[in-house]
């Protein structure tokens, strides 16, 4: 029950364990006659709840300030400290059995760390006047950060095991304490004081608790090195590793521990903390990466030339990738990511800044001509800057890209499963290293340039308002890019953890005409499967997703008379940003679809001649290595939206790197260490409602939905709801309101503008997650089931783009204008 019964504690104590006694009702009614019927009824239900039998095992190791030992009771083994043992015995006698009341009393002893923390927090709150509005009284949307790529594997399984040990430090100090866990060559132990123990220091341990099982000798004093120290209230948790020259040549004590741990690990339980942490993070990574709205491009270095080489694509960033293609579908990313811009980006990356690039495509005589100018290039001529931006925004294919540069860390190419060597040795493929061929290719790719499309309606309208009358065409031509006779080859690599396609696609170019409302749009196919095609049109189309069209394949009709390949019904699934590429899926009006029957026959008869459209590298491990490097490097914060009953919640931030100005602010606004306060994003009254409504209607195949938030933070105000002001861009429905909001925010503190892109999450690939999930479930089945439920609860992915740089650029430009 959620109701607080603390004011009736005397009555609860008086009637503990007496609900089954014959005179309970009469005595209880006499004591509670002054209460309302509702209060009396609820209190009686609480007494019956506390008296209900309990079967839960209690393990207080690591949860209390005291040494826990095995406490056997009624064929159950609990792990209790001295205080908890006394409480258990007392309340067991009071209730006449092991009940919920006994369990809760033991879990709420005074030396329980949770109880201590709550008391300290209560004291802090009470010591502050009610009207001060200090940090603990502010609105909180707490979120935990999960960092991609940091999956630490343990060389040895670690068993939760509490035994006495004797610690000697530099022949100066000896003391006795107890372990919290144990492996063959390492352990953790608790020290109930804060005397200095330094990382890297060598100490001597003697396992006195094993004297009965293992005969200790003078050689049983073993040297360990301190690897980590964690301070919890007045206790230190020290992690140490055995100092031994040759770990492969085990001594007698190591051999004894191998046998001891293998024999007892199910009884005392394996420490699964690192595997549980890794599995949760890996599951979030698997949801986030295939829904990325930024386009990572790996840069190859040949001699002194830096050029785009690999682009990691998914459904959400296809528009960016396809925007930078010419009429023949050759990549033109060299126009956006030039050698000079990479040099600028390297300098900007030192201060954590990005580069804004403004572009448009001019189409003439069936050919595409690309024009780009970045903010640094344009800053040399303020007058021409306004003209260029106004002219560019007037074009149909105008775009604003935000570029940032990341260094490639090749050590991140491997993403190990966090299973001990005892498991991975049996399944070597799980943690197979990157091949030498892939390492050679990675050595040639020193950088990732991340492209974020920050164009939205508000941006376009603002730049369109700039006059370009009298623009200098000579200057304009300088920003046009020459068409290369031999374009740079950029390989498209899919960000997938599994193949999402239900059918194989095959590359095939043949004329195709799409008809809707008696209007025919000619083009040609890029690829096909039994149930769909990708068509490139000669001219931009007005088609949108959901349209039903009729397809004709004139050249294929010439080679078959068995099928009528005219007027085939298809549904439009996707149209690219330039409106020239259309994805079609069969639309079944009756029982049969001639197109599907034809393509099935075509594939069956010509399978050996057709070329699969799957991305196939001569080095198959490269795609996975590139994905791992990018996921561990990305700085784009992503909110993971999960179902909670019939509602949605968001208390997870996932990314490769939390270093960002907005992330720093959210950490500062949090009242909990190592947590982030999402109030600047979720604190707006309508934002979460809009997100929920949109998410319920979204399909997994849809592209992301966008919202723009204006955020002002005044650091001089303590209360978050007073310090942080949030507005949806639609609320600031005029340039004057936006200008005023930005001006006041910069005057009083900090201003942020974020573009939130929401996507429906796809289903998890449990084959990718099962190695770790199975390992956890084999030792803690309840934790395995709980984590699996959390994995399946992920419903949406909301990526938060910090577009403050572009908005400030526009704001200052408009003020000067």
**CATH of residue 553:** 2.40.10.220
Total number of domains constituting the chain: 5
State both tokens at 785: 């089931």
State both tokens at 745: 């925010």
- 600 lies in the same domain as 681: no
- 459 lies in the same domain as 513: no
Residue 144 included in any domain: no
- 544 lies in the same domain as 449: no
Q: Closest Cα partner for 614 from 491, 457, 448?
A: 491
| DSSP bridge partners of 175 | 167
User: Integer distance in angstroms from the first to the last C-alpha of the chain?
Assistant: 63
Residue 230 included in any domain: yes
Residue 588 included in any domain: yes
- 75 lies in the same domain as 116: yes
- 425 lies in the same domain as 457: yes
- 812 lies in the same domain as 781: yes
Which of 492, 527, 549 is the last residue in one of the domains?
492
| DSSP bridge partners of 15 | none
- 669 lies in the same domain as 807: yes
Residue 22 included in any domain: yes
Residue 480 included in any domain: yes
Q: Which domain holds residue 423?
A: 293-492
- 184 lies in the same domain as 103: no
Q: What pLDDT, on the 0 to 100 scale, is given for residue 486? A: 81
Quote the longest CA-to-CA distance of the chain. Answer: 102
What residue spans of 16-112 are helical by DSSP H? 24-31, 37-50, 82-95, 100-107
- 12 lies in the same domain as 115: yes
pLDDT in tens, 552-608: 999 999 888 889 999 999 999 888 877 888 989 898 876 678 888 898 888 888 877
Q: How much is the pTM?
A: 0.70
Residue 136 included in any domain: no
Which of 612, 645, 670 is the last residue in one of the domains?
612
Q: What pLDDT, on the 0 to 100 scale, is given for residue 617? A: 47
What is the Cα–Cα distance from 103 to 17, expressed in whole angstroms?
13
* Residue 672 Cα distances to 141, 143, 231, 724, angstroms: 11, 10, 16, 18
What is the Cα–Cα distance from 223 to 163, expressed in whole angstroms?
18
Residue 14 included in any domain: yes
**Residue 195 and residue 238 in contact, taking contact as beta carbons nearer than 8 Å:** no
> What are the residue ranges in the chain where pLDDT is below 70?
1-4, 62, 117, 120-138, 153, 216-219, 233, 245-250, 268, 420-431, 498-503, 590-591, 612-620, 816-817
- 108 lies in the same domain as 238: no
Centre a 10 Å sphere on the Cβ of residue 243 and count the other Cβ atoms it contains. Answer: 13
303 phi-psi bin (left φ>0, alpha ψ -120 to 50, beta other):
left
Which of 254, 269, 284 is the last residue in one of the domains?
269
- 655 lies in the same domain as 680: yes
Q: Closest Cα partner for 742 from 794, 648, 640, 815?
A: 815
Residue 591 included in any domain: yes
Q: What pLDDT, on the 0 to 100 scale, is given for residue 129? A: 42
- 326 lies in the same domain as 475: yes
Q: Determine the 3-state secondary structure of 205 from DSSP.
A: strand
């Amino acid at each position: 029950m959620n109701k607080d019964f603390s004011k009736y504690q005397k009555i609860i104590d008086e009637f503990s364990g007496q609900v089954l006694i014959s005179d309970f009702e009469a005595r209880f009614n006499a004591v509670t006659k002054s209460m309302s019927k509702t209060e009396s009824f609820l209190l009686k239900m609480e007494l019956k709840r506390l008296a209900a039998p309990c079967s839960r095992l209690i393990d207080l190791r690591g949860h209390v300030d005291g040494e826990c030992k095995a406490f056997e009771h009624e064929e159950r083994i609990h792990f209790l400290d001295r205080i908890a043992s006394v409480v258990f015995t007392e309340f067991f006698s009071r209730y006449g059995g092991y009940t919920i009341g006994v369990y809760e009393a033991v879990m709420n002893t005074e030396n329980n760390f949770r109880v201590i923390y709550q008391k300290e927090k209560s004291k802090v709150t009470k010591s502050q006047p009610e009207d001060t509005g200090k940090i603990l009284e502010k609105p909180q949307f707490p979120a935990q950060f999960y960092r991609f790529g940091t999956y630490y594997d343990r060389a040895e399984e670690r068993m939760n095991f509490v035994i006495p040990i004797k610690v000697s430090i530099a022949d100066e100090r000896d003391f006795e304490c107890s372990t919290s866990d144990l492996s063959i060559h390492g352990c953790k132990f608790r020290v109930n004081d804060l005397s200095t123990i330094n990382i890297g220091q060598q100490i001597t341990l003697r396992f006195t608790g094993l004297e009965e099982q293992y005969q200790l000798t003078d050689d049983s004093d073993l040297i360990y090195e301190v690897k980590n120290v964690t301070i919890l209230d007045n206790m230190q948790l020290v992690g140490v590793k055995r100092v031994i020259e040759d770990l492969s040549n085990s001594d007698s004590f190591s051999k004894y521990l191998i046998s001891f741990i293998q024999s007892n690990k199910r009884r005392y339980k394996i420490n699964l903390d690192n595997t549980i942490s890794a599995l949760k993070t890996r599951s979030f990574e698997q949801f986030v990466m295939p829904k990325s709205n930024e386009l990572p491009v790996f840069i190859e270095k040949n001699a002194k030339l830096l050029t785009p080489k690999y682009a990691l694509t998914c459904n959400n960033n296809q528009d960016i990738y396809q925007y930078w293609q010419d009429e023949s579908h050759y990549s033109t990313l060299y126009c956006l990511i030039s050698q000079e811009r990479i040099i600028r980006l390297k300098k900007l990356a030192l201060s954590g800044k990005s580069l804004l690039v403004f572009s448009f495509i001019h189409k003439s005589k069936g050919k595409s001509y690309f024009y780009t100018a970045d903010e640094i290039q344009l800053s040399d001529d303020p007058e021409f800057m306004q003209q260029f931006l106004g002219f560019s925004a007037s074009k149909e294919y105008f775009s604003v890209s935000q570029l940032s540069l990341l260094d490639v860390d090749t050590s991140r190419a491997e993403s190990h499963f966090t299973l001990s060597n005892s498991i991975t040795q049996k399944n070597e493929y799980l943690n197979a290293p990157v091949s030498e061929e892939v390492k050679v290719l990675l050595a040639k790719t020193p950088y990732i340039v991340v492209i974020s499309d920050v164009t939205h309606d508000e941006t376009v309208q603002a730049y369109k308002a700039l006059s370009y009358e009298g623009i200098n065409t000579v200057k304009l031509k300088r920003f046009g890019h020459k068409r290369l006779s031999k374009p740079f080859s950029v390989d498209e690599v899919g960000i997938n953890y599994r193949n999402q396609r239900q059918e194989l696609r095959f590359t095939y170019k043949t004329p195709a005409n799409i008809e809707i409302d008696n209007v025919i749009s000619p083009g040609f196919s890029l690829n096909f499967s039994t149930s769909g095609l990708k068509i490139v049109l000669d001219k931009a189309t007005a088609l949108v997703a959901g349209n039903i069209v009729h397809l004709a394949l004139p050249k294929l009709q010439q080679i078959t008379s068995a099928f009528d390949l005219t007027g085939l019904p298809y549904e439009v699934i996707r149209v690219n940003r330039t409106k020239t590429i259309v994805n079609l899926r069969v639309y079944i009006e009756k029982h049969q679809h001639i197109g599907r029957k034809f393509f099935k026959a075509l594939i069956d008869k010509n399978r050996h001649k057709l070329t699969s459209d799957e991305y196939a590298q001569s080095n198959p491990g490269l795609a996975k290595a590139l994905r791992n490097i990018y996921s561990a490097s990305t700085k784009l914060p992503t909110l993971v939206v999960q179902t909670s009953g019939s509602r949605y919640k968001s208390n997870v931030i996932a990314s490769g790197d939390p270093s960002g100005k907005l992330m720093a602010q959210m950490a500062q606004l949090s009242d909990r260490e190592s947590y982030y306060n999402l109030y600047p994003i979720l604190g707006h009254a309508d934002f979460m409602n809009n997100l929920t409504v949109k998410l319920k209607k979204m399909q997994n195949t849809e592209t992301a939905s966008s919202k723009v938030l204006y955020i002002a933070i005044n650091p001089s105000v303590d209360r978050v709801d007073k310090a942080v002001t949030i507005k949806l861009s639609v609320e600031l429905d005029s340039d004057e309101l936006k200008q005023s909001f930005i001006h006041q925010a910069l005057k009083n503190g900090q201003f942020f503008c974020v573009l939130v892109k929401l996507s429906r999450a796809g289903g998890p690939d449990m084959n990718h997650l099962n190695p770790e999930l199975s390992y956890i479930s084999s030792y803690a089945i309840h934790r395995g089931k709980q984590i699996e439920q959390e994995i399946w609860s992920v419903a949406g992915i909301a990526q938060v783009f910090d577009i403050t740089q572009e908005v400030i650029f526009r704001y200052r430009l408009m003020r000067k204008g």
